[in-house]
Amino acid sequence: MPTLPGVHLKDEIAKISQRLKELGHGRHLDRAVWDKVELARHPKRPYTLDYIEHMFAGFIELRGDRCYGDDPAIVGGLAAYQGRTLMVIGHQKGRDIASRTERNFGMPRPEGYRKAQRLMLLADKFGIPVLTLIDTPGAHPGIAAEERGQGGAIATTLMCMAKLSVPTVAVIIGEGGSGGALALALSDRVMMLENSVYSVITPEACASILWKDAGEAQLAAQTLRMSSDDLSQLEVVDEVLPEPRGGAHRDHVAAAKVIKDALEEKLRELETISPRLRKKERFEKFRRMGVWKENGLTLF
């Protein structure tokens, strides 16, 4: 950037910023966004195992990463689905204090992601489509988790999903928190329940970093555009699934039916395509993610 003599750009920028900050704080706070954040975290919201119970005639949970441990924050297994089979993998939160602790509030450790990879590869071997259900505040922040390679575990899970030759469908059912959520969402089709959220960072953490004030979480949530409507507009999700009136927690069975119907439709679409083309389209989909300017033009 060229600088002109006598013009102290940084000072100018600082002045403008201050003005804009004042303007920014005056923005209309849309209560609807925060309502969705609260619904997404509602303690009675159906979790992965609830959906599995209501969607499938049978489910065999398969455990462990064959290496270090079994992480209860991610569950997975074989589900009987209209006379055939699905591999279902999802984050799992606990409902009461004991199970919340056991499930670590749905925050996976590396062994959870490695279990997910193992199950995906098992599904791939037998041509079983993979359904992932996403509901986590994020990957577990902790010393031992870092030492066991939290970053690498998420990255290799993404890589694993990129490689799969079976159809893959992801549904964000609650909190889609950061890399910990994305790890299970590199899918051919990504859907979102109406009152779920999906974001690069929790609104609280974003507020404390950018606004230097965790109390601005509502503003952060709105600014991050983490609601299903926003994400649909940004073309990050393929479809928003309507919830039962008042939210999924009001009627678990009806919420499960919504997902099941959508899943069926997506699988029908995906199975008409050859594995090779499906993978190509998956790559094209994620290759298009992002917005930038090139030679002055904004590209999506």
Partner 1 sequence: MARKVSVDISRRGGNTQNGAQSCPGCKELLSPEELRRNSMICPHCGHHFRMTARQRIELLSDPDSWNEIAANLRSADPLEFFDLRPYPDRIEEAEYDTGLSEAMLTGTAKMNKMDVVLAAMDFSFMGGSMGSVVGERFWRAAEEAIETRFPLVVVCASGGARMQEGILSLLQMAKTTCAVELMGEIPVPFITVLTHPTTGGVLASFATLADVIIAEPAAFLSFTGPRIIEQTIKEKLPEGFGLAESHVRHGQVDLIVPRLELKERLVQILGMLEGGVACALQPLWEEEARRSGRGGAFAQAFDRIKALAHSPRRPPQG
Residues that bind its own copies (CB under 8 A): 66-68, 110, 114, 148-149, 152, 156
Instruction: Name residue 292's amino acid.
Output: W
Torsion over CA of 135, 138, 141 and 147, rounded to 10 degrees? 90
Question: 3-state DSSP call for residue 268?
Answer: helix
CB of 89 to partner 1, least distance (A): 14
In the complex with its own copies, which residue's Cβ is closer, 115 or 252? 115
Among 48, 92, 104, 178, binds partner 1 (CB under 8 A): 178
CB of 91 to its own copies, least distance (A): 21
Rg of the chain, C-alpha, whole Å? 21
In the complex with its own copies, which residue's Cβ is closer, 110 or 180? 110
CB of 144 to its own copies, least distance (A): 11
Please name which of 159, 223, 177, 278 lies closest in space to residue 24, comparing C-alpha atoms: 223
Can residue 295 be called a binding residue for partner 1 (CB under 8 A)? yes
Among 100, 148, 250, 257, binds partner 1 (CB under 8 A): 148
CB of 67 to its own copies, least distance (A): 6
CA–CA gap between residue 209 and residue 52 (Å, rounded): 37
Question: 3-state DSSP call for residue 198?
Answer: strand
CB of 96 to partner 1, least distance (A): 21
59's enclosing H/E stretch is: strand 58-61
CB of 246 to partner 1, least distance (A): 26
**Site map 62..101 versus partner 1, x via CB under 8 A:** xxxxxxxxx-------xxx--xxx----------------
177's enclosing H/E stretch is: strand 168-177
Near partner 1 in 235-254, by CB under 8 A: 236
Structure tokens at 5: 């003599």
CB of 192 to partner 1, least distance (A): 11
CB atoms within 10 A of CB 249: 18
Can residue 272 be called a binding residue for partner 1 (CB under 8 A)? no
* φ, ψ dihedrals at 268, nearest 5°: -60, -45
Instruction: Name residue 20's amino acid.
Output: L
In the complex with partner 1, which residue's Cβ is closer, 102 or 253? 102
Q: Which does 273 bind (CB under 5 to 8 A by kind): partner 1, its own copies, none?
A: none
Can residue 154 be called a binding residue for partner 1 (CB under 8 A)? yes
Instruction: Kindly report each contact of residues 211-215 with a partner whose C-beta sits within 8 Å and lies 24 or more positions away, as own/partner.
Output: none
Among 101, 102, 127, 242, binds partner 1 (CB under 8 A): 127
Residues touching partner 1: how many (CB under 8 A)? Answer: 104
**Do strands 297-299 and 84-91 pair parallel, antiparallel, or not at all (unpaired)?**
unpaired
CA–CA gap between residue 178 and residue 175 (Å, rounded): 9
